[in-house]
Chain A
Amino acid sequence: MSISRARCRTVGAALATAAFTVLSCGGEKGLGREGCAGACSSASDFLSSADVQRILAQGSVEAQARGARATLAVVDRVGNVLGSFRMNGADPSFRISSGRAVRGGLEDARFASGDALAAIAKAVTGAFLSSEGNAFSTRTASQIIQENFNPREFSQPSGPLYGVQFSQLPCSDIMRSGSEGMTGPRPSPLGLSADPGGLPLYKEGRLVGGVGVISDGLYALDPDITDIDEDPDELIAVGAARGFMAPGDRRGDRITADGRTFRFVDSEDVKSGAATIPALAAIPGATVAVDGFFSGIIRSGIAFRTPESGFRFDTGTFADLKGVVLVDERNQNRFPPRAGSDGLLTANEVISILRNALMVANRARAQIRRPLGSAAEVTATVVDTAGEVLGLVRTPDAPVFGTDVAAQKARTAGFFSNPQAAAELQTVPRAVYPATGDSVLPGSSVTLMRQFLNDPTALSNGLAYSARAIGNLHRPFFPDGVAGRPPGPFSPPYSNWSPFHVGLQLDLVINAVSGSASGVGCAFLPKIRNGIQIFPGAVPIYRGSQLVGAIGVSGDGVDQDDMIAFLGLANAGVALKTGIANAPRERRADLIEPFGLGTRLRYVQCPQAPFNDSTEHNVCADF
């Protein structure tokens, strides 16, 4: 196995070099297995039901070879569950644990017969975080959601996607929950997973879905990434994905953020050979129907960017920019640009903001994609002050997870910048932690915030918060990541913190996640109905000193997300001259320095070497 892998990588590197030359003139189809860079996927690229059966069978054979009993799930790129299979003897229950002996949140939550939910969440994570330009796994997710990046690297800031685990929830209005036959994107039953054992699936360089495996009854994460694990879930997933593995040159371990490569898989030392794969029917076990996710009958996937997938190229406003929009079962744009329900933004302004965001994205140097020199691929969403989506547009190959996250981010920036934030937070019912029955009032974070900032008007004074600034306040250490420092007001102290107990973000949605919710969407409050998001990529929109909405961007590096939102809005303001702009500098959250020197909140951070086509730097400084 290792020999063939080495050979494959060498070939991959050579092809990538060749592809790089070709792709600089646009990235056409047909570049082969390593050459896809965002424009390959077509209506003929999807997992057939035979593929799904093969993947499930291969995984089961690997599980057998390891003496394990697994539950596996396969999804397509937009999250449709194509198959879910439980081997005889597999433990149908699982438990959520970070291993940190923390009490609260989802820690120690037990699911009596939820193995398929865990497998689906892991499969969705593999599919949603990836694209033709990057292949990320649940192990990648584990690396980028912890309190430090890299995990356990002393006093480094948190993972760039800190908080992303609480997205793609079934209660989200962006995700399409319900019976089969609906368009995507489909939710994940447990949000995104950081438990190794979820991988993306590729055919000829095209991302066609994901596979997820659970065999150990534990839904966890990897807190120590310096070692090399032999994780049974992951190895079974690797066995399952044989023939559908991500191209070597697109895997996370070829992609860097601040010089650090991402983890893809720790080991590929599978025990099952490449011998004849038995039919799935020959393997002791059965498909598992999951209410709202899977009927129990294995089916083929939906090709990405066909109307049935829920994503297609726009034929209207964004067509010239190759914008992709979300569509419903009638192929109607679900979020066509429109004026704000509060009357504060015009449809034209929404269009201009989104178009400018797309234009910035198309120039932006991607942080998480290969080949090098690719443009960023993102979802951009504008919301009004009520949290209504006024428009949503994507670049063609943006990872699917950003669809939900862009709206979460936009709503977060808009909600916290709104002077009503404090009052509304205080109306949220108690959050009940499933394992312990403990409960907390999310509204208490208002008090904590006011103490923290030593400002009794905080969250009702109209200070403009970006998603990045809220994130700064939502970490177990303030400043972010620095050992020994106190927690931010929205986070539990580090001693009682874990990625499954992060504080306000989870408290707002935990009742919906555990099925005991009341109110609108995930988070009781309509303005943040799919929950808040606490990593960078959104800014509020102002007209003069009046908050009129927010823009959220998700899909590439967080600095890129920040820049596309901030600069897209700024450029739209300059072009339109209708008064819309970023928050006035004297209202931005980066005026706040809660504990003096070195603790200032950050508003946005635009990336180094921001554009592929220029030597400009510090491009946000003028706004």
Chain B
Amino acid sequence: MSAPISRPGPAIRAALSLLVLGSPLARAQNPRPSPSPSPSPSAAPTPPADQIELRRPGRNPAPLVYELPPIDPAQVEPPAPVLPRESLPISDRWRLMENLGIVKQKFSDPYHQNVYKGDKPYKPFRKWGDDVFLNLIGLSDTLVEARRLPIPVGGQSSRRPSALDVFGKGDQLTLAQTVLFGGSIIKGNTTFKPPDYEYRLILAAHLNRTQVDPVRALRVDPHQGFVRYDPHFTLVEAFYDKHRRNVSERYDFDSYRVGLQPLISDFRGFIFQDNALGLRFFGNRQDNRVQYNLGIFRRMEKDTNSGLIDIAQRPRSDDILIANLFRQDTPRPGHTTQVTVIYNWNHEDGKDYYNTNGFLERPAVIGDVRPHGYHAAYLGLNGDGHFGKWNLTSSLYGVVGHDSRHPVAQRSQLILAGFSAVELSRDFDWVRGRLTLIGATGDSDPFDGRATGFDAIQENPQIGGADTGFWIRQAVPLAGGGGVALSGRNGILPSLRSSKDQGQSNFVNPGLMFSGLGADFDVTPQIRAVTNVSAIAFANTSILSVLRNQGAIDRFVGVDTSVAVQYRPLMTQNIVLNVSGAALWPGRSFRLLYDENRRGPQYSVLANVLLSY
């Protein structure tokens, strides 16, 4: 890296300007300021004017060298690098811009040095210190979603006469409104060093209305009809985050966070992404080049129809231990590598648990439906970053464990399964092309002592057209195969669980082979179009055959096509409008499983508006 950087890309340009401008500022704001504006003795000697040293102070031995371009004599001369400056003393540095009359705060504007967004200390908190901030958080998510899935008419009753078969009209319509609101109290200068502490509390209010054509799809009692309103009000996050200590002068630190907090297993949420109750130690080393997490969590019970946490119910008997390490610039600069170990202990082998719609959730209604628990240890190697112009996200997981008594095998099982995912992309001007390959092992013999289908704890995969693609977004019931979904909502693994949110992991599943091509088009800074075409297949359909008591079922699920358009009128994330449509063109597997010969393809169409403060 000693070679001069001749044509820095946009990201590098930004970083350079920050470094060039930031270094003296950072020194100026160091709580232990140097006695003079001149560099501290520990810093390297001042380089010549045409060779500004870009090395981060600290351990990195090899300094980056930036050679200034030849000076254009037509331009004014640049300022000399080290000159005494004229400055005015300002009592409150956070109000600098305001004092200068450049920026005027408006409550409704989350930018522009807003005291409610943690840009300036909040006066009522003054008794706790001069640098205690308030950050209000507000988010509104409005969703309209129409979809068509294979749904049974409802064994005990049907909506219409002459419903003579299993499958009814599968059309559904969901309207959902979620409002998140809350805030944080943060102590410490949040810009240049980790805060000393943070208290955060976020609440959610949710209302959904779902309309499904067949009766009994929504509630266990068919008499309750085909429209369901379900409100829910809950806590989403509630934690205390404490900065324990700094371990280097570059603010490498150790912290812990306790309470209900977000947790994600890896870059794309393949194993776990949710809010969980627990204690997490985290921090970094080597100038933030290495980050670590060490946590213990208990999963919260969920509200069935909103997917939000339900604090009125006891947390689940399901615990997660997680330890991971991120290392930046590994193996090459621009790429971060993570190793992770996650241990999931599920001991929900006691009482049956029914969800709010009256359906048995745990144990899932498959096999002998006897309660069971399991231990599963995930070992993962993940990467995210770029190699030159190629962006690469990759994931490799293995899971080993033990299921006390799988309900289909009706015996204890050794869990042994694997998962891999790769997303390779590259930008061509305003177009980004993407290739996605995902594989998850499937189970070949549901009755033997080995469970070799890969399942996550609670996945929320951000890959392959996650939000908009049909396969990932929709939960398709395995009609006639018990109370399980082929794959969960916002999930990619066909893990045959009662639900992703509330069900237990199931390592006896058909596995997955997913290959997708996609392209993102940044049409304007406000409009982006995302397209995906994915071919989806199971790895092994033995368990599907058993659950449906059906002869050989083909592996080819079909082709998932989706288009999404995102509109950001302000070019920020504060107002985002998404419109998308997806259809799953059935392969032979779906034609054997569902009434594909009687209707058009399964589809989903949705529009959602995200407003955030």
Given known contacts A609-B592, A617-B594, is B551 in contact with A373 (CB within 8 Å)? yes
Contact with A along B214-245 (1 / 0, CB 8 A): 01100011111110000000000000000000
For A263, list chain B residues within 8 Å (CB): 368
User: Assuming the A-B contacts A157-B156, A608-B167, are A258 and B447 also in contact, with contact meaning beta carbons closer than 8 angstroms in the complex?
Assistant: no
Known interface pairs A259-B484, A607-B166, A618-B595; A481-B161 also in contact (CB < 8 Å): no
CB distance from B159 to the nearest CB of A (A): 8
For residue A111, CB closer than 8 A to chain B, the reply is: no
Interfacial chain B residues near A157, Cβ < 8 Å: 155-156
| Residues of chain B lying within 8 A (CB to CB) of residue A225 | 368
Complex contact A256–B596 (CB within 8 A): no
13 more contacts with CB within 8 A, not counting A596-B223, A605-B164, are A157-B156, A256-B546, A256-B547, A261-B407, A365-B551, A372-B551, A597-B225, A598-B159, A598-B215, A598-B216, A602-B163, A608-B165, A609-B550
Contacts of A51 in B (CB 8 A): none
Report whether B223 and A600 are in contact in the complex, using a CB–CB cutoff of 8 Å: no
B222 near A260 with CB under 8 A, answer: no
29 contacts between A and B (CB under 8 A): A10-B448, A153-B365, A154-B354, A154-B360, A256-B547, A256-B548, A259-B365, A259-B548, A260-B367, A260-B368, A365-B550, A365-B551, A373-B550, A374-B551, A482-B156, A482-B220, A588-B161, A591-B161, A595-B223, A597-B215, A598-B215, A598-B221, A602-B156, A604-B164, A605-B153, A607-B166, A608-B593, A612-B551, A617-B595
The interface bits of chain A over 4-29 (1 if a CB of B lies within 8 angstroms of the residue's CB, else 0) are: 00100110010000000000000000
- Main secondary structure, interface of B, reads loop
User: Are A590 and B596 CB-contacts (below 8 A) given A155-B221, A365-B549, A480-B156?
Assistant: no
Per-position contact with A for B473-485: 1 when CB-CB < 8 Å, else 0? 0000011111110
Q: Cβ of B597 < 8 Å from any Cβ of A?
A: yes
Residues of B within 8 A of A366 (CB): 549
Partner of B162, one of A482, A585, A617: A585
A602 near B354 with CB under 8 A, answer no
Number of A positions contacting B (CB below 8 A): 69
**Chain A 150-187 near chain B by CB (<8 Å), digits 1 or 0:** 10011111000000000000000000000000000000
Interface 1/0 per residue, B368-381 and A, CB below 8 Å: 11110000000000
Q: Which of B221, B366, B481, B596 contacts A479 (CB 8 A)?
A: B221
A590 to B226, CA, bound (A): 18
Query: A367 to B547, alpha carbons, bound, how many Å?
Result: 10
Per-residue interface assignment for chain A, residues 513 to 527, with 1 indicating a CB less than 8 Å from any chain B CB and 0 otherwise? 000000000000000
Contact B368 A253 (CB under 8 A): yes
Query: Is A606 interfacial (CB-CB < 8 Å)?
Result: yes
A257 within 8 A of B: yes
Whether A226 is near chain B, meaning CB under 8 Å from some CB there, is: yes
Residues of B near A228 (CB, < 8 A) are 370
In the A-B complex, the 9 residue pairs with the closest CB atoms = A259-B482, A373-B551, A617-B595, A598-B222, A618-B165, A620-B164, A615-B591, A479-B156, A598-B223
* B552 and A373 form a contact (CB under 8 A): yes
**In the complex, chain A residues whose CB is within 8 Å of the CB of B153:** 605
- State A382–B594 Cα separation when bound (angstroms): 32
Taking CB atoms, residues of chain B closer than 8 Å to A373 are: 550-552
List of A residues within 8 angstroms of B368 by Cβ: 225, 253, 260-261, 263
Shortest C-beta distance, B118 to chain A (Å), equals: 48
Q: Mark A571-598, 1 if CB is under 8 A from B, else 0.
A: 0000000000000010010110101111
Known: A261-B367, A263-B368. A590 touches B551 (CB 8 A): no
* Chain B, 154-212, CB within 8 A of any chain A CB: 154-167
Q: Nearest residue in A to B168 (C-beta to C-beta)?
A: A618
Residues of A within 8 Å of B222, CB to CB, are 479, 482, 598-599
Quick check: is B588 within 8 A (CB to CB) of the other chain? yes
Q: A588 and B162: CB pair below 8 A?
A: yes
Q: A259-B365, A602-B157 are in contact. Are A597 and B223 (CB under 8 A)?
A: yes
Report the minimal beta-carbon distance from B97 to chain A, rounded to whole angstroms: 61
Q: Which of B416-464 contact A (CB under 8 A)?
A: 445, 447-448
Interface centre among B220, B222, B547, B588 (most CB of A within 10 A): B222
Are A615 and B482 in contact, with the CB atoms below 8 A?
Answer: no
For B167, the chain A residues whose CB sits under 8 A away are: 608, 617-618
Question: B158 contacts A606, CB within 8 Å?
Answer: no
Bound CA–CA A609/B216 (angstroms): 21
Q: Which residue of A lies closest to B216 (CB)?
A: A598
Q: How far is the CB of B412 from chain A (nearest CB, A)?
A: 11
Q: Does chain A have a CB within 8 A of B330? A: no
Interface assignment of B358: CB less than 8 Å from any CB of chain A: yes
Task: Check B220 against A155 for contact (C-beta < 8 Å).
Answer: yes
Per-residue interface assignment for chain A, residues 372 to 388, with 1 indicating a CB less than 8 Å from any chain B CB and 0 otherwise: 11100000000000000
Q: B interface, how many residues as a size bin?
A: 35 or more
B548 pairs with A608, CB closer than 8 A:
yes
Q: Using a CB–CB distance below 8 Å, which chain A residues touch chain B? A: 6, 9-10, 13, 150, 153-157, 225-226, 228, 253-261, 263, 365-369, 372-374, 472, 479-482, 485, 557, 559, 566, 585, 588, 590-591, 593, 595-609, 612, 615-621, 623
**A605 in contact with B482 (CB, 8 Å):** no
A254, A261, A366, A481 pick with most chain B CB within 10 angstroms: A261
Which residues from chain B contact A372 at a C-beta distance below 8 Å? 545-546, 549-552
Q: Which of A10, A369, A620 contacts B165 (CB 8 A)?
A: A620
| List of A residues within 8 angstroms of B370 by Cβ | 226, 228
Complex interface bits, B124-160 against A, C-beta within 8 A gives 1, otherwise 0: 0000000000000000000000000000111111111
B594 / chain A contacts, CB cutoff of 8 Å: 608, 617
Docked Cα-Cα span, A511 to B544, in Å, equals 47
Bound form: Cα–Cα A599–B158 in Å = 8
Query: Contacting A615 at CB < 8 Å: which of B216, B549, B596?
Result: B596
Q: Is B598 an interface residue (CB 8 A)?
A: yes
CA of A372 to CA of B163 in the docked complex: distance in angstroms?
A: 27
Q: Find B369's partner among A260, A559, A605, A623 (CB 8 Å cutoff).
A: A260
Is the Cβ of B158 less than 8 Å from the Cβ of A590? Answer: yes
Whether a CB of chain A sits under 8 angstroms from the CB of B352 is yes
Do residues B597 and A258 form an inter-chain contact, with CB atoms below 8 A? Answer: no
With A590-B163, A621-B598 given, is the CB distance from A154 to B358 under 8 Å?
yes
Cα–Cα, bound, A557→B369 (Å)? 20
Contact A485 B161, CB 8 Å, known A256-B548, A259-B547: no
CA distance A615 to B590 in the complex (A): 9
Contacts of B367 in A (CB 8 A): 256, 259-261
Tell me the minimal C-beta distance from A376 to chain B in angstroms. Answer: 11
Q: How far is the CA of A162 from the CA of B135 in the complex (A)?
A: 61
- Complex alpha-carbon distance, A381 and B612, angstroms: 68
The reply to whether B408 and A261 form a contact with Cβ atoms under 8 Å apart is yes
How far is B596's CA from A557's CA once the two chains are assembled, in angstroms?
Answer: 23
8 Å CB contact of A600 from B158, B592, B595: B158
Which of chain B's residues have a CB closer than 8 A to the CB of A608? 152, 165-167, 479-480, 548, 593-595
Query: Closest CB-CB distance, A192 to chain B, in whole Å?
Result: 22
